[in-house]
Structures are given as C-alpha cells and as structure tokens.
Amino acid sequence: MSSNVIRRKEQKRSVNPTPVFNFVQSVSKVTAGTILGITMLTSSVVAGGLVGLAISFRNLPDVRVLESYVPSETTHIYDINGKHLASLHDEANREVIPLDEISPHLKRAVLAIEDSNFYTHPGIYPIGIIRAMVANLEQGETVEGGSTLTMQLVKNLFLSPRRAISRKAAEAVLAIRLEQILSKKEVLELYLNQIYWGHNLYGAETAAQSYFNKSARDLTLAEAAVMAGMIPAPEQYSPFINYKNAKTRQAVVLARMRTLGWITPEEEEIALKQPLLVGRVTSFRKSELPYITEAVVQELTERFGRDAVVKGGMRIQTTIDTNFQKMAEETVTAWHEIFYYRGLYRSWDKGQLALVAVDPRTHFVKAMVGGSDHKSSQFNRAIQARRQPGSAFKPFVYYTAFASGQYTPNSGIMDSPISYPDGNEYYTPRNYGGGFSGGVSLRKALESSLNIPAVKLGQSVGLNKVIEVCRILGIKSPIEPVISLPLGSVDLTPLEMAGAYATFANNGWHSDTTFIVQVTDTRGNVLLDNTPKPKLVLNEWAVASLNHVLTGVIQQGTATKAQIGRQAAGKTGTTSSERDVWFVGYTPQLSTAIWVGNDDYKPLYYGATGGGTVAPVWRDFMSRAMSGLPVEYFPLPSKFSRP
C-alpha cells in the first residue's frame, strides 16, 4: 500500500465540505414531500439507533489498525535478466497501486455505481439507502447498492459476509470510525486495492492486468465500466465467463455515469461500441522454470516464513538465466531418453538425472535441473536427494593433503593391500576392478581413481581435517569420519558438489552458493542482498595443484569422454553396485555437477561408471554452455608459495 495510506496523520481529519460529485438526479414517481418525509424519519431513526449501537458494539475491531495496514500482495520471481518466471500468492492474487496512478475512468465508474456521494458523507449515507431501494425497484435489478464504499471496505476487512441487521449496524459504526482516522483518498485507495474482482483477482491492478492485459493506469472508459460493474457479482459479470453479461452490465454503469453528469452521451456511446480485448486469467499460472521457483520458495520460506513469501509482495531476482536453464533442461531430457526410453540401459528402473551449474566467480547457480520431467515428478534431486558421490569425493582429500604441506602431486604413495581395524572387524579397501599398482604418484593415483591411496591419504592427513575442508567449501550435509569417507561414503547433494568444486575452479575464492541475487519489497526496500563477497578460503598453491591434477583426469584419466576442446578439470564418481554415478567438472567460468541413478537405489547396470555414463552428458552440456566464451586457464602452482 502506498505511503499516503499507511502514514498516520498528526491532525484529525475533517470531511471536505465541498462535494466533489453532486447528486443531480431526482428520483421519478416519488414526490419531493414524500422523499423529505422519508429522509427525515430515516435519518432520525438511523442517528438514534447508531448512538445505541455505538454503546452496544464496544467489542468491534479497532479500525485504527488500518492506519498501518498493508494488504497481502502477490510475490513475483524473475530471472537474472528481469524475465518474469512466476507469481506466488495465497488466496489473494493482488498488486497494490497508488490511487493517483489508477485510471480516473475507473475511479469515477466505481463511485458512480457503488457510492456516488462518497465525498460528501461521513461513512454512511441514509439517503442513499432510500435512493438505492427506489432505483433498484425501477430498474428491476440492482443498479446501486445501499452500502457506502467505506461500509463495504470494513465489511471485507473485519466482518463476516453473513447478512444480518446486526452486521449492517456494525458496518455503519465501523465506517464512521474509519472516516475519522483516514482521509477520503486513503479510503478509496484502500478499497480499490482490497476489493475482489473474480477469478482470484484482488485489487484494481491485478484485475486490469488479467482482464485487459494492461495496468489499471491505462484503462479506458469502456474497460473501467466493465470492471466497476463486476463488483457486486464478479464471476456473474466476468467477460471471461459471459461476454454478453459483461457488456449488459457495462451499459448500466455508463448510463449511471451519464445520469450523474460525469460523462457525456457521446462518451457513453463511444464506450458502448468499443470492443473489449479480453485477456486471460492470471491467477495460479504455472512457473516457466518450476524447479527453480520451488527452490527459491524453499530458501525464502526458511528465512522469512511462508506468509511473507506468498503475501508480502516480494520482488525476487534469481541468479538463473532462462535460456541457460532451458539448455540444461534440454540436455537432461535428451539424455534421459537415451538412457531410458531408447532402452540403452535396460536395467534402468526409475532412472533419473540431476544437474547443477554454478558460476565460480559469483557462486550464483546458473542452471539447476532436479529431474528429467517436472510434470511426472516434482522431487528436486539437485537439492533434495542426498546420494553418495563415490570417487567424486576424493578431491577434498587430495586438497587437504596438498594444503598440509606434506604432499605434492608428485609425491609417491603405495597402492598395495592394507586393512584397518573397524570396531570388531577390519576394513580392507579395494580398487575398482581389483588389482594393485604398487608405487604411484598422487597425480597418477587421482587420475586413475585408485581407492587404496585415497584411503591411506585420508588416514595420513586426518579425516576431521577433510571434513573441515568440506565445511569451508559450503557442504552442510552430515559427515562422519569413517575410514571409507575418502571413497565417498557420505550422502551429498548435486548442489553441494557443484558449489564446492566451484571454489576449486575459482582457485580458492569462495562465496555462498545461492539461487537469489536480491529480494525487495514493493517499495524497493532491500530485504535480502546476495551480492557476492568472495573470500580466499583455500591455500592457493594447494588448490592450483589440485586443479592441474584434475585436468589430467579428463586428459588421460578416467574421464576422457569429458573432453570439450579447452582446459577443464573434473572427477568421476561411481559407488558400489553402480547405484550412483557422477561427473563433477569445471572450467574457470563454470562448475557443473551431474548425477545419474535410480530413485529407488537399484543399481543402474553392470559396468556403469561416471566416466562412461555421465561424462558424455557433462561434455554435451558444457560444450553448449562454453560456446562463444573465451578459453581461460587455471593458474599454475608455480605462481604461489607452497605451504
């Protein structure tokens, strides 16, 4: 609600003694004397009754709360370029707009049909009740209501819709009280932003956007008359439901405006002939990028609460580029078809893919796909599915070793049998496919994804140190220092993996991974600002060494199928029994994690690996994502001092 509504006036307001609109039409077939008599009698009865009612209704709501009242308002989500993605609202789909920006046609049309003496009464208008009764009898339908706008407003805000004399009396008392604390302008602004216009549309702006594809600022006389005429029965007079009914009701409103002298007969005729370019219902439209929208809602709900998100009128700018996101979705859909529908992997039961791409320079999520088809499954595997990363976890162990100062990529380690006490038993790590390589360099051990050296390295540097590195990189999932941790015996999300590897890609500079750039309220006040504030959290020599070892994984290691014609680093991951297969890789401009597996944890197929199954998917996506971007290289370890 604009500031002129919610700002408390320091001085008591008085009703403007000069009427803005004059009642110029005398009621036909009723003598002046009769009207005068009825009016005097009615005024006396009403005035006397209200004195008693004012005493009786001591428990009525305190209308002073409206001095700071802000109607619930629809929240909107946009991509990083300002493209609208989704609208979020509870029951009320509403956009608030200042009164001064609402079309004069709409203001006059609403006042004409609902309360033509709005600017002259103190909240109630006894004469209007009699006049409405006579006018409605003459026309054979409701052409004017007996309640003032102020009475309608307090009814909508405070009272139940139950028809009863006591409720009408309460409306009158509250209306008088309200007009003692709010100006006419404030009451009208609140009314036009609060009122229901059918099809879950609340307020003039939302209704205008839906019915006529334009702002309430730009409504023509013809359009304004249609909207004003809908107020008593929005669905009955909706042009979406019955165009003929809408035009008939429009004519009633225009006739009333002409009778009052607020429009000329010529303007009335032009408006009646003007065709209505009717829009479409805008409430509860589906998001263009549902996985993104749902992730944003989840993050903001945890921070601000559900009511603030669906009723607070937030303006949310996400980190997502729509075109980039759709490219990621197309990649996932295409490979899901290859894996499943074409029967390439016949043992694939409920096979799924998840993809997350993060910009290492900002840690903004550029794309996120939670599954092959949101329509068939709304479960977002990118942020909700914790799956074992297998050997894709090893870079965290190797970085810890390099950062300790005790190891370099050329340091030697024995790939030979070993067992560790584990409770009452012994844990004996084995390499994928069996066998041993004897003495190897750390570089060779990681390129070939040897398991035994990784476990030995974890024991040497300390698993708690490895876990500490994971926390620095933004991983929040539970991690236990079990002996097999270096082989990925922990459940992590694709988002956590992509974000952690993004810090490697940025040579140790880290920001919090996020979907959201900024959140503001309807007045432009910043509620959340995720402007990147990178911090150097890793040792630069150690991470540069790791990056160059991981480029070897793609050049001559387990992920040669991930080559994209430019320098890139990454690591494959395959768990026992092929339940989860991964490839997480990056260039200096983009870090992307891709997971493939079955929702029910059944194995994919014998021989499924991160290098053979997932690396080609990563290559497909990254080739498109990097197209047109300059080739960049990771810094050499020689540029930095060794710990």
Q: Determine the 3-state secondary structure of 510 from DSSP.
A: strand
- Residues 431-482 have pLDDT tens digits of 988 889 999 999 999 999 999 999 999 999 999 999 999 999 999 999 999 9
Res 305: pLDDT: 85
CA distances from 341 to 48, 238, 643 (A): 79, 45, 51
Q: How many CB atoms lie within 10 A of CB 574?
A: 29
Residues marked active site are found at: 114, 391
Q: Provide the CATH number for the domain around residue 557.
A: 3.40.710.10
Cβ contacts of 201 within 8 Å, gap of 6 or more:
93, 94, 207, 210, 211, 281, 282, 283
* Same domain? 111 vs 174: yes
The parent domain of residue 244 ranges over 3-60+91-273
Res 131: pLDDT: 67
Per the domain annotation, does 302 fall within a domain?
Answer: no
- Residues 263-286 have pLDDT tens digits of 999 999 999 998 887 766 655 556
Helix axes 394-403, 451-461, angle to 10 degrees: 50
Going 125 to 130 to 131 to 132, the CA torsion angle's sign is positive
Per the domain annotation, does 80 fall within a domain?
Answer: no
Paired tokens of 132: 């409405």
Question: Mean pLDDT of all residues in the chain?
Answer: 84
Per the domain annotation, does 79 fall within a domain?
Answer: no
Which range, 232-246, 290-304, 336-350, 618-632, has the best average confidence (pLDDT)?
618-632
Q: What's the rounded Cα separation, in Å, for the pair 108 and 192?
A: 12
Res 234: pLDDT: 85
CA distances from 7 to 4, 64, 521, 565 (A): 6, 12, 17, 62
- Can you tell me the mean pLDDT for 105-116? 93
Of the candidates 160, 235, 168, the residue with the CA atom closest to the CA atom of residue 198: 235
Threshold 0.75, pTM exceeds: no
Of the candidates 359, 395, 295, the residue with the CA atom closest to the CA atom of residue 534: 359
* Same domain? 268 vs 171: yes
- Can you tell me the mean pLDDT for 192-204? 83
Res 21: pLDDT: 35
145 — pLDDT class (breaks 50, 70, 90): low
Q: Distance between alpha carbon 72 and the CA centroid of its chain, in Å?
A: 16
* Same domain? 354 vs 438: yes
Question: Above 60 in pLDDT, residue 522?
Answer: yes
Q: Provide the CATH number for the domain around residue 190.
A: 1.10.3810.10
- Residues 2-45 have pLDDT tens digits of 444 333 333 333 333 333 333 333 333 334 444 444 444 444 44
Res 282: pLDDT: 57
Query: What are the backbone dihedrals phi and psi of residue 412, each rounded to the nearest 5 degrees, phi first?
Result: -90, 150
Res 4: pLDDT: 42
Res 65: pLDDT: 65
Res 605: pLDDT: 76
* Same domain? 108 vs 255: yes
Query: Quick one: 158 exposed, middle or buried, by C-beta within 10 A (0-12, 13-18, 19+)?
Result: middle
Res 348: pLDDT: 56
Between 183 and 133, the more confident residue is 183
Per the domain annotation, does 70 fall within a domain?
Answer: no
Res 540: pLDDT: 98
Cβ contacts of 53 within 8 Å, gap of 6 or more:
169, 170, 172, 173
66 — pLDDT class (breaks 50, 70, 90): low
Q: What's the rounded Cα separation, in Å, for the pair 643 and 623?
A: 35
- Residues 199-247 have pLDDT tens digits of 778 888 888 988 898 999 999 999 999 999 988 888 888 888 888 888 9
Identify the DSSP state of 477. Answer: S
Q: How many domains does the chain have?
A: 2
Per-position b or e across 214-239, b if 16+ CB within 10 A of its CB: bbbeebbbbbbbbbbbbbeebeebbb
